[in-house]
Amino acid sequence: MWSDGKILRSAARMMRAKAPIQFRLAAATLFVAAFALSTMGLFAWRVVQDAKRQFVTNTAVHVILVNSRSLGEQDLPRPVQWQDRQRIQEILDQSLSDAGARAWNVYQINFGITDSEGRADWVESVDPGAASLLGLAQMRDDTAYTTSSKASRLILYVPVVRQTQGGYESDRRIPMTLTRVEQIPRQAPLMALSSALNADSPNGRPLFVSYDAYRTILERAFGQPFPGVIRALERGQDFGIEPVASVAVYIPHLTDVDQVARILTAHHYNVAYALGAFQQLSSTWRTAARMAFGFILVTVVAMYLGAWLAFRSDLRRSRKDLGILRHFGFSAQEVARIYHLKFRGMFLTCAGSTALYTLVAGALVFRLPWYACVVLACAVAACVGLMSMANASAARKTAALHLPHLLRFSKEME
């Protein structure tokens, strides 16, 4: 007893056995196109991920460090001062308010402070809310942040500074206990931008504390409340220290970094930033991304067009075969189905193998996250599926042609 499915599958098997070279060529082209699409997709995703890691999500490239200001060609640059942060913020708010740039002070104490490990620490700090500059979520007041210490707690011996006629001296120290010690990641933005902050040696090292802890140290060292110290500094009183080491400007969007740097430079500020080495990075980046995307798109379209044309060529050559099947008594729908069944298995194999390849290569070779591999595998399989559907549709249209037209069209007389 014949069942319709069995009949059509059986007929399709017979048709497959007589597949001409055009069909084999079309199949080979499809496999190459599918694997190329998969590889290009994996490669593009990898490049985007690397770019994100290196640029977009890497805070270091979003930060501009302002160290000094040059007021005239003859004058030496002067270090940034207490008022500069506010001035820089105002300049950026006026000139490029859309950029959403934020300026924070990086503080320092110019003299070394001995600690319980016997090392001299160059104490530094940042404004409240700027912990991300150190790669931290927040900073605690009882914690010392270093790149090197293995101690679980530290005692800082803060010198009490006295002004004398000859300068500054200290003969008394006040211990200040920091009950916790945490590591600063070496790739933290400030560490990446300033080599001085990485200058760790057996004799001394940078040691970060919270802003409040920094204030406490200055209060203990100079024996007066912090606002008093600041007012005195603003009046120009010399305490023997320059509390502001630099101003760090954070720019959320990478494409604005160049412009912010240019604005600051135009206002005589001397800047250092990771992207400074790249000329016109944002436009170069955009152009390169567009070109790469365009190239991939053109290549993929060309490959799929090639496969599609190869299948259309096979279908055109198969017109007489379709006509003969109709002459045998199959309906136009059945003939289209037979032709579809002839290549369906091959399309399934292609979709399956490229999806598997995408998953394996994506995970093992391109080191992409699993969801990226799954998305790409589905996309490649969908592309193959779409082509299969397009071919089935073309086969339906061809099989429904007027029978003498089908039979006459073939150049092949069997």
Binding site for another protein (CB under 8 A): 1-2, 7, 10-11, 14, 17-18, 321, 323-325, 327-330, 334, 403-404, 407, 413-414
- Rounded to a whole number of angstroms, the minimum distance from the CB of residue 395 to another protein is 17
In whole angstroms, the minimum distance from the beta carbon of 339 to another protein comes to 13
Q: Give the nearer residue to another protein in terms of CB position, either 302 or 403.
A: 403
Nearer to another protein, 327 or 397 (CB): 327
Query: Could you tell me the maximum CA-CA distance found in the chain, to the nearest angstrom?
Result: 117
Name the residue nearer to another protein (CB basis): 18 or 172: 18
Helix, strand, coil abundance in the chain, percent, nearest 5: 55, 15, 25
Give the DSSP letter string of 14-45: HHHHT--HHHHHHHHHHHHHHHHHHHHHHHHH
Rounded to a whole number of angstroms, the minimum distance from the CB of residue 325 to another protein is: 7
CA-CA distances (angstroms) from residue 370 to 360, 362, 365? Answer: 10, 8, 12
In the complex with another protein, the residue whose CB is nearer, 186 or 327, is: 327
What is the DSSP secondary-structure string of 84-134? HHHHHHHHHHHH-GGG--EEEEEEE-SS-EEETTS-EEEEEEE-TT-GGGG
C-beta closer to another protein: residue 149 or 318: 318
Contact yes or no for 233/107 (Cβ under 8 A): no
CB of 400 to another protein, least distance (A): 15
Minimum distance of another protein from residue 20's CB (angstroms): 9
Q: Are 296 and 44 in contact (CB under 8 A)?
A: yes
- In the complex with another protein, the residue whose CB is nearer, 10 or 393, is 10
CB of 21 to another protein, least distance (A): 12
Q: Collapse the DSSP code of 216 into the 3-class scheme (helix H, G, I; strand E, B; otherwise coil) and give the result.
A: helix
CB of 346 to another protein, least distance (A): 18
Say how far apart CA 68 and CA 270 lie, in whole Å.
Answer: 5
Nearer residue to another protein within complex by CB, 181 or 322: 322
Neighbours of 195 (CB within 10 A): 8
Tokens representing residue 410 in the block: 């073939």
Q: What is the token pair recorded at 215?
A: 């204030």
Query: 217 — phi, psi (to 5°)?
Result: -60, -45
For another protein, the closer of residues 217 and 325 by Cβ is: 325
CB of 7 to another protein, least distance (A): 4
Alpha-carbon separation of residue 204 from 185, 208, 209, 378, 393 (angstroms): 18, 13, 16, 56, 76
